[in-house]
């Protein structure tokens, strides 16, 4: 393998999702990287499935330090918690992060874990636990989350009803770049909660003037002004409320409520001309908005006060028609939800491809029920229920697709069984024969190796004699034996001849010994190589033979078990989806009924006021026509 | 303030009260279901994990398994459009990247682009990447690498870098 230099191959582990510090930024574990790949695309189920398996396998290792995940294990544990949090699995997320917190990790990592845990508790509404987790933060804190920790701490105090505790933190944070607007607004609310009205007004005034072009901060600036204006309005300080309500941008998310309040503030000081201005703007806006609906009724009321009864009657008439249409629309929506259309619309995949899918729901003509649910859709509890319903729908799709896969698995196993079963008996017979031959050769090889090793320590030239020389030597020994058994006259002569021959042979064996031993060693080394190749092929065959069996044996039980688990999970999911869906429908219907009730009330008022305006208009006309 | 205005405001406030009560009641019920939803998510994740292991055992036994991963070198700004992988001259896979996938790679994610089977021994891997340079110029670059497959599962990591930097933008490493 041509390897790339480590510096090039080192992949930096980006931590936009995982803001925890890591021991090493270079990615060493591809499977962890794969989990991040899915997480970065928002596919947290896939990310969790991969990372959970990887972390579990790592934990089962005898020598985890040899595994590539070892270098990222803290990051991986963090990511696991992070992904679980994003996949709305708070219970498991808490466990994963607690595990990091209680492990032998350095100060920075522990503090980061404590912050994450606190955030989970805060989201779950467990404020005491959140504060306990924050109190575990001690020593070095990662710079990236220093302000987040403090902001969270202040929010926990506010949620606990201890506003005074949050003053210090919020005062400091209102000068920071990341939390400036939010901290400033929250400080105003904290003063208000603490009963310090004037301090709250001053603070909200400050929050309502922050210089920013960030959309989120602009929105919080509007909110500060709206809240400040509303407090003054409710306190009867109508003129003082006006400048703050006027500060709210006309195109911001709080503009409708600000326009409505501005109208009421003007009307309350009997400045009817001024009240007409914001209400005229508001009455022309999206009719499903509750502030708009109120303005549609308030605007003709102001005209009535200005004695422009004809115009008032026209606007009451418009309001009456509009409320009628909206009540019909709400009735249709309630009926549609009862028929299950709402849930069907929510799980349509093409809608959710866009991150702003909730917003787009209202533009779907076939889902009128969503027009009035935007406020509800934005509420935390409804969002949780809705997201759960969507997650359940996704899980159900996955399970159904897996269930169809089991038949393919069974087919695959059957095909392999039918292929291998007829072939394997013959193959096994041939193999047994080959195996016994091979074992014999292995034994012979071992014997030769031993002989070579012996010769190196104890030279035995006759062991290296050629076949002919061995035959000659045997013949000489045979003659020597015969001469001893049958002595004759020629004995001396014959013995000398035999000894000469033997001496000649011994001379050859002795003088050629080293050369022969070297050659023997060389031949043996060649044989070693051949034996190694043979062993390799033997091993490969054994593996292939095992793989053949493993490809179709032992799957029946796990496949059946998985099939049963999937079916059980589908049943459970169906039950949960039905309950979750029913709850969403009930909440949605409740919301629509409440909105319908309000509209019906408005319609009755409009009907009465319309008749009254006509009367007044007629009377005014009659008066004007009197001589 | 006139009585009429007060009535209007009361209607408005009453509407808000009704709504918030309805949400609160349903919110409690929803929270009780939330725990069960989390449990089933856990169950399904465990099924998915076991299923992946089973699938891997059945389709890609460790003796022949090869997995090819793709990542983008840190701080690279070129746009990757597609990657093609050939093993021993045969097309193994071809992938066209969506914006989301490219972004995930640029953030440090690693894509498992191919999982398959090869016999033990030496093999040839060819990689082709197609995309657009920061300058707007289109590019197509290919490179070949040899690798050895042993009895263990094989993981190959391909790191893609700027093809205009002079050296090969395709680097391959063993894991």
- Burial code (b: 16+ CB inside 10 Å, e: under 16) for A194-229 equals bebeebbbebbbebbebeeeeeebbebbbbbbbbbb
* Contact residues, chain A, for B55 at CB < 8 Å: 409
Measured in angstroms, the CA of A56 and the nearest CA of chain B are apart by: 10
- Residues 6 or more apart whose CB falls under 8 angstroms from that of A582 comprise none
B28 class by beta-carbon count within 10 Å (0-12 exposed, 13-18 middle, 19+ buried)? exposed
The answer as to whether A86 is a domain residue is yes
The answer as to whether A96 is a domain residue is yes
Quickly state the pLDDT bin for B20 (edges 50, 70, 90): very low
The answer as to whether A395 is a domain residue is no
Measured in angstroms, the CA of B154 and the nearest CA of chain A are apart by: 12
- Tokens 């992070």 locate to A82
Say which of A388, A399, A412 has its CB closest to residue B37. Answer: A388
Asked whether the beta carbons of residue B31 and residue A384 sit closer than 8 angstroms, the reply is: yes
Q: Are A183 and A151 in contact (CB under 8 A)?
A: yes
Write down the pLDDT at residue B76. Answer: 84
Domain extent, residue A100, equals: 8-141
| Residue A5 predicted with pLDDT over 50 | no
Least confident range of A109-123, A450-464, A540-554: A109-123
Say which of B22, B36, B171 has its CB closest to residue A594. Answer: B22
| DSSP codes joined into one string, A417-477 | HHHHHHHHHHHHHHHHHHHHHHHHHHHHHHHHHHHHHHHHHS--GGGG--HHHHHHHHHHH
- Residues 6 or more apart whose CB falls under 8 angstroms from that of B105 comprise A37, B70, B71, B72, B80, B97, B111
SS3 string, A39-63, reads: HHCCCHHHHHHHHHHHHHHHHCCCC
Q: What is the mean pLDDT of chain A?
A: 86
A548 is written with which tokens? 């053949």
Q: Could you say which DSSP state residue B175 is in?
A: -
Least confident range of A157-161, A332-336, A376-380, B37-41: A376-380
The answer as to whether A354 is a domain residue is no
| Residue A139 predicted with pLDDT over 70 | yes
User: What percentage of chain A carries pLDDT values higher than 70?
Assistant: 91
Residue from B77, B15, B34 nearest A595 by CA? B15
- Mean local confidence (pLDDT), B12-18: 35
* Contact residues, chain A, for B58 at CB < 8 Å: 409, 412-413, 551, 555
Quickly state the pLDDT bin for A351 (edges 50, 70, 90): low
Domain count, chain A: 1
A508 class by beta-carbon count within 10 Å (0-12 exposed, 13-18 middle, 19+ buried)? middle
| CB-based contact, B36 to chain A, within 8 Å | yes
Write down the pLDDT at residue A480. Answer: 87
Instruction: Identify the CATH number of the domain in which residue A87 sits.
Output: 1.25.40.10
Quickly state the pLDDT bin for A350 (edges 50, 70, 90): low
Q: Chain A neighbours among B 91-150 (CB < 8 Å)? A: 100-101, 103-105, 107-112, 120, 145-148
- Mean local confidence (pLDDT), B104-114: 95
Write down the pLDDT at residue A27. Answer: 81
Question: Please, what is the angle between helix B3-59 and helix A44-59, to 10°?
Answer: 50
| CB-based contact, B68 to chain A, within 8 Å | no
Checking A522-529 for CB contacts under 8 A at 24+ apart, the result is: A524/A448, A524/A449, A524/A452, A527/A445, A527/A448, A528/A445, A528/A449
Least confident range of A294-308, A311-325, A579-593: A579-593
ipTM of the prediction: 0.87
Closest-CA residue of A relative to B112 is: A34
Compute the distance between CA of residue B74 and CA of residue A15 in angstroms, rounded to an integer.
12
The answer as to whether A301 is a domain residue is no
| Residue A387 predicted with pLDDT over 80 | yes
A285 is written with which tokens? 């806006």
Write down the pLDDT at residue B175. Answer: 65
Measured in angstroms, the CA of A511 and the nearest CA of chain B are apart by: 47
| Residue A16 predicted with pLDDT over 50 | no
Q: Are B20 and A600 in contact (CB under 8 A)?
A: no
Asked whether the beta carbons of residue B159 and residue A39 sit closer than 8 angstroms, the reply is: no
- Mean local confidence (pLDDT), A576-583: 91
Compute the distance between CA of residue A599 and CA of residue A593 in angstroms, rounded to an integer.
10
Asked whether the beta carbons of residue A543 and residue B40 sit closer than 8 angstroms, the reply is: no
Closest-CA residue of A relative to B27 is: A381
The answer as to whether A525 is a domain residue is no
Asked whether the beta carbons of residue A91 and residue B107 sit closer than 8 angstroms, the reply is: no
* Probe site for chain B from A3, A5, A9, A553 (most B CB atoms < 10 A): A9
């Amino acid at each position: 393998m041509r390897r790339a230099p480590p510096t090039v191959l080192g992949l930096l582990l980006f931590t936009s999702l995982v803001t925890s510090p890591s021991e090493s930024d270079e990615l060493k574990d591809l499977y962890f990287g794969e989990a991040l790949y899915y997480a970065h695309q928002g596919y947290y189920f896939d990310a969790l499935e991969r990372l959970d398996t990887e972390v579990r396998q790592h934990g089962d290792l005898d020598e985890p330090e040899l595994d590539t995940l070892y270098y990222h294990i803290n990051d991986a544990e963090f990511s696991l918690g992070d992904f679980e949090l994003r996949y709305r699995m708070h219970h498991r997320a808490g466990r994963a992060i607690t595990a990091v917190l209680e492990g032998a990790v350095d100060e920075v990592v522990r503090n980061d874990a404590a912050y994450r845990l606190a955030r989970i508790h805060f989201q779950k509404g467990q404020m005491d636990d959140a504060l306990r987790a924050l109190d575990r933060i001690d020593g070095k804190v990662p710079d990236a989350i220093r302000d987040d920790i403090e902001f969270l701490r202040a929010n926990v105090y506010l949620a606990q009803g201890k506003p005074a505790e949050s003053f210090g933190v919020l005062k400091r944070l209102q000068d920071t770049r990341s939390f400036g607007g939010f901290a400033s607004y929250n400080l105003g609310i904290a003063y208000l909660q603490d009963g310090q009205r004037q301090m709250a007004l001053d603070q909200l005034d400050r929050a309502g003037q922050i210089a920013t072009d960030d959309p989120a901060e602009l929105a919080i600036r509007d909110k500060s002004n709206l809240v400040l204006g509303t407090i003054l309005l409710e306190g009867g300080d109508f003129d003082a409320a006006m400048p703050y309500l006027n500060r709210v941008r006309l195109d911001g998310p709080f503009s409708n409520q600000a326009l409505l309040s501005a109208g009421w503030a003007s009307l309350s000081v009997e400045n009817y001309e001024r009240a007409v201005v914001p209400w005229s703007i508001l009455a022309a806006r999206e009719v499903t908005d509750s502030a708009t609906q109120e303005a549609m009724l308030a605007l003709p009321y102001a005209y009535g006060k200005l004695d422009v009864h004809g115009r008032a009657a026209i606007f009451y008439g418009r309001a009456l028609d509009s409320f009628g249409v909206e009540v019909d629309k709400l009735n249709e929506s309630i009926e549609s939800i009862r028929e299950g259309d709402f849930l069907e619309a929510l799980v349509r995949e093409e809608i959710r491809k866009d991150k702003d899918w909730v917003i787009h729901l209202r533009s779907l003509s076939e889902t009128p029920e969503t027009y009035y649910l935007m406020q509800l859709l934005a509420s935390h509890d409804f969002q949780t229920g809705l997201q759960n319903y969507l997650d359940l729908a996704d899980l159900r799709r996955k399970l159904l697709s897996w269930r169809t896969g089991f038949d393919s698995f069974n087919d695959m196993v059957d095909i392999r069984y039918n292929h291998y079963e007829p072939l394997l008996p013959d193959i096994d017979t041939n193999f047994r024969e080959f195996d016994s031959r091979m074992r014999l050769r292995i034994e012979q090889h071992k014997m030769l190796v031993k002989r070579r090793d012996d010769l190196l320590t104890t030279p035995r030239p006759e062991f290296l004699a050629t076949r002919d020389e061995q035959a000659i030597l045997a013949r000489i020994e045979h003659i020597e034996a015969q001469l001893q058994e049958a002595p004759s006259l020629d004995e001396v002569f014959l013995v000398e001849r035999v000894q000469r021959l033997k001496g000649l042979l011994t001379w050859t064996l002795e003088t050629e010994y080293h050369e022969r031993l070297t050659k023997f060693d060389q031949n043996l080394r060649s044989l070693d190589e051949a034996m190694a190749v043979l062993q390799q092929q033997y091993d490969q065959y054994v593996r292939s033979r095992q793989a053949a069996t493993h490809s179709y044996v032992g799957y029946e039980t796990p496949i059946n078990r998985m099939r049963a688990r999937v079916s059980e999970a589908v049943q459970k999911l169906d039950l949960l989806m039905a309950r979750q869906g029913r709850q969403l429908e009930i909440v949605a219907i409740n919301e629509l009924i409440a909105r319908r009730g309000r509209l019906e009330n408005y319609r009755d008022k409009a009907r009465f006021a319309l008749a009254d305006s006509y009367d007044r208009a007629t009377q005014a006309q009659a008066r004007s026509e009197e001589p | 303030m006139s009585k009429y205005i007060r009535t209007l405001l009361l209607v408005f406030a009453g509407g808000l009260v009704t709504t918030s009560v309805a949400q609160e009641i349903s919110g409690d019920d929803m929270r009780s279901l939330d725990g069960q939803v989390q449990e089933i998510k856990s169950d399904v994740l465990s099924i998915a994990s076991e299923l992946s292991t089973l699938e891997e055992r059945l389709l890609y036994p460790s003796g022949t398994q090869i997995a090819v991963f793709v990542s983008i070198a840190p701080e690279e700004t070129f746009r990757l459009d597609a990657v093609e992988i050939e093993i021993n001259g045969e097309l193994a896979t071809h992938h066209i990247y969506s914006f989301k996938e490219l972004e995930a790679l640029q953030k440090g994610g690693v894509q498992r682009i191919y999982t398959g089977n090869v016999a033990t021994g030496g093999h040839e891997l060819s990689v082709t990447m197609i995309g657009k340079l920061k300058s707007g110029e289109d590019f197509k670059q290919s490179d070949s690498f040899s690798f050895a497959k042993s009895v263990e599962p094989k993981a190959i990591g391909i790191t893609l870098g700027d093809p205009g930097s002079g050296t090969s933008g395709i680097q391959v490493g063993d894991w």
